[in-house]
Amino acid sequence: MEQAKQIDVKKLKVSKKVFNPGPARSRTGNVINFLFLCLVGFFMVFPLIFIVSNAFKPMDELFMFPQKMLVRNPTLSNFTSISILMSSSWVPFSRYIFNTLFVTIVATFFHILLASLAAYVLEKREFPGRNFMSQIIVLSLMFTPAVTGIPNYIIQSKLGMIDTYWVLIIPYIGSSMGLYLMKQFMSSSIPNTLLEAARIDGASELRIFTRIVMPLVKPAWLTMLMTSVQSMWGMTGNTVIFSEAKKPLNYALSQIGTGGVARQGAAAAVTLIMIIPPLLVFILSQSRILDTMASSGIKE
C-alpha cells in the first residue's frame, strides 16, 4: 500500500509539471532582459532629466563646457524671469492660457466624438462605398501636414476662418489618425454578436453607441485624448493667427527664447512648462494607452 501511495504521489508531481510548466526563459535570460530594458529606459528618460535639470540651472551652468547633466546650484531665477517678461506684455498672460485651454479642450472633445461616431459607422454598419472610404482614410495617413498646408490655408481663407480659434480647431477635428485608431480598436475589441444582441433587446443605435461601444473602447479614446492634448498644447498658429490676443500660450512662451543669450535660462524653464501637461495626461492614462497599442492591430 505504501509503495502504491508513493507511486501515486510521483504521478501527481509529474502531472503538476505537465499542467503547470515553468517560465519559458531561464533566470539568466530574465536578468539579461531586465538589464536591457533598464538601459533602454534610461536612454528614453535621459532627455526628460536633462530638460528638468536645465530649467533650474543658473546661466553659468547652462553655458558650461562640457555640459553637465545634473544641476549643481539649483535656482528659480529662470521662472522668475518668465513672470517678469510676461508681466510686461500688453496682452495679459491669462489670455494666452485661456486661448490654449479653449482650443485644446474643444478640439480634443469634438475630435474624439467625431472619430468615434465615424469609426462605429464604418466598422459596424454595412453601406455602399464602405471599403472605399476605409481605403481613403488609410491613404490620407500618407500625407504630412507640410503637403496639405497650402490647400488647407486656401480653404480656410475662403471660409473666413483665418485669425480665429476655428482655424486651429476644425482641421484637427477632421484628422484621420484618430479615426483610423478608433476603427482598428473597434474591429478587434467589439464583437458584432454583442451589438446584434443589444438590437434584439430593443436598444437604439444611440444607446448602443453610448452604453456599449464607448465604454468598451475607453483605452482607444484615452489614447486619442493624450495625443490630442499633446498636439494642441504645442500648437503656435504662427501662419494662421495674427491677432496677439488670440495667440496660444506656446507662441507667447516661444518668443522668450528669441531674446538672445540673456534669455536662455527663461527658455529652458519654458521648455519644462510646455511638457508638463502632456506628460501628466500620459501618466494618468498610460495603462489604457498600452492596451490600445497592443490590440489595435489585431483582427477577429
Interval 138-164: pLDDT, tens: 888 888 878 888 888 899 899 888 888
Interval 18-46: pLDDT, tens: 444 445 567 888 888 889 988 888 888 88
Give residue 10's pLDDT band: very low, low, confident or very high (50, 70, 90).
very low
Helix (H) / strand (E) containing 86: helix 77-87
Give residue 292's pLDDT band: very low, low, confident or very high (50, 70, 90).
low
Interval 247-290: pLDDT, tens: 888 887 777 767 667 777 888 888 888 888 888 877 777 666 66
**Considering the entire predicted model, what is its pTM?**
0.74
Return d(Cα 219, Cα 225) in angstroms, integer: 10
Give residue 13's pLDDT band: very low, low, confident or very high (50, 70, 90).
very low
Does the pLDDT of residue 110 top 90, yes or no?
Answer: yes
Region 47-57 average pLDDT: 87
Region 84-112 average pLDDT: 85
Return d(Cα 254, Cα 158) in angstroms, integer: 29
Does the pLDDT of residue 184 top 90, yes or no?
Answer: no
Return d(Cα 59, Cα 63) in angstroms, integer: 7
Domains of the chain, by residue range, sit at 20-75, 81-295
Does the pLDDT of residue 130 top 90, yes or no?
Answer: no
Amino acid sitting at position 292: T
Return d(Cα 272, Cα 6) in angstroms, integer: 68
Q: How many CA atoms lie within 13 A of 62 on its CB side?
A: 21
To which CATH superfamily is domain 81-295 assigned?
A: MetI-like (1.10.3720.10)
Comparing 297 with 227, the larger pLDDT belongs to: 227
**Any idea which residue has 501515486 for its cell?**
8
| Alpha helical stretches, state H, 125-217 | 130-140, 145-158, 166-173, 176-189, 192-200, 205-208, 214-216
Return d(Cα 26, Cα 12) in angstroms, integer: 24
